[in-house]
Amino acid sequence: MRAVYAEFEADPIVFEIRSAGGSRKKEVGLDVYGIEDASRLRVEVGPVPPAGKFKFEAGTATVRRVSSDPSDPVRVTVPVTCSGGEDGGEDESALTLVLAYSDQEPETVAVRLVATANRVLPLWQVLAEEYEEIRPEWKAELRGNPVLQDAKATDRRKLQEVIGIVDGRAKKGEALAALCFSGGGIRSATFNLGTLQGLASAGLLGRFDYISSVSGGGYVSSWLAGWIHRSGGIDDVEPRLAQAQSDPEHPEAAPLRALRQYSNYLTPRLGALSGDTWTVVAIVIRNLLLNLLVMLPLLAAALAVPLLAVSRLPEASVLGPVPLFWAAVVSGTLGLFFMSLLRASAKPHPNEEQQWWEQRFLLLGLVPLLVSAALMAWSVARFTALYDFSFLPALRWIAANGTVFATLCAPA
């Protein structure tokens, strides 16, 4: 007769309801080992007692075998719905299952069900629970602190108390430490791997409580976190990471070899016929098109402003193309002058005439440039209408006059 062993996927099962009176449904998973024939397993779902203002409803259990291997567990799932509650409230109940298999004695298992409604944990409580997890020896001090257990104390006062406990531990030589990996693609990942190996060789890797990373550093940090999780702790990883690899007959650990093998993680398999290569090409083209679809309409709308201004002006205007051109030049010159004078690098410090600075920049810098663009477009339109010029000759005329103006204005 084989022993039957059951293990819940998670304990407790947490139901987070956004607001009072809402509901949340979850599948409670249970793995049952020692079962040869899943059809002979009977699961009886017991009633779930209410927890304060929260109500639980459990459905019918579903039994299925995960794979054909007899050593793999049989999967039992029970749908549970939580409803009700009050804002800020939290309560707990339990789901009880009775497992009956063949001629064996029925086995009763239970899992905790925790329900919350629109509950936001204060920062001090989050930190206290986190410190208890990473530093178990602090648990007694945190839970025995009178301020943290005082219901009348404010969250601010409790946060100060938690920080004081951490500071006191640091003065005793028990400070928290963090390992931070910067970004920079595969170059950063390579450097960070060498740092990890150096720390492991010195026996210091296990002394860190936190790991933080960004971009390329995340490639190494996620790999390290996965290795630690699969190995059951840092104690097994650190000596394997610190092994010297000068002898070819003793290769690196398998996780290290896999890391180096897939260091080109964007395109692991290169080549003209590789699916990875063409996937990257397709992603680049897609992203370019998406960016252009966003930017081109905005640029086109900005460039259409002068044309719209011209289209609204009367056809029989007394102004000729030459006065319009010089008016555009003068207006544009003034705009460029004030934009240079009121440039971002010359902007005063925050809260020091900042609003005045931005208003002057818009009125004296940006507005004259917009007026200049409208006048220049109008000038080109008048040239075309009066002299039957095509666009390019008119543009050459404008360029020539602009050169003359720039020469006259240039310092001696």
Integer-rounded Cα Rg, in Å, for the chain is 36
Residue 377, H or E segment: helix 367-387
Question: For the chain, what's the residue count?
Answer: 412
Write the CB contacts of 257 (distance below 8 Å, at least 6 apart in sequence).
251
Amino acid at 191: F
- Assessment of whether the complete model's pTM goes beyond 0.75: no
* pLDDT at res. 74: 86
Q: Where are the alpha helices (DSSP H) in 312-353?
A: 321-341
Q: How far is CA 269 from CA 34, 167, 258, 265, 276, in A?
A: 42, 50, 14, 9, 6
CA 135 from centroid of its chain's CA atoms: 27
- What are residue 46's phi and psi, to 5 degrees? -85, 160
* pLDDT at res. 78: 92
Cβ contact 335:367 at 8 Å: yes
- DSSP bridge partners of 75: 31, 64
* pLDDT at res. 105: 80
| Low-confidence stretches of the chain (pLDDT beneath 50) | 1, 316, 412
Q: How far is CA 392 from CA 315, 326, 396, 398, 401, in A?
A: 22, 19, 6, 10, 14
Nearest to 4 by CA among 80, 63, 79, 45: 63
Token pair for 30: 């249970």
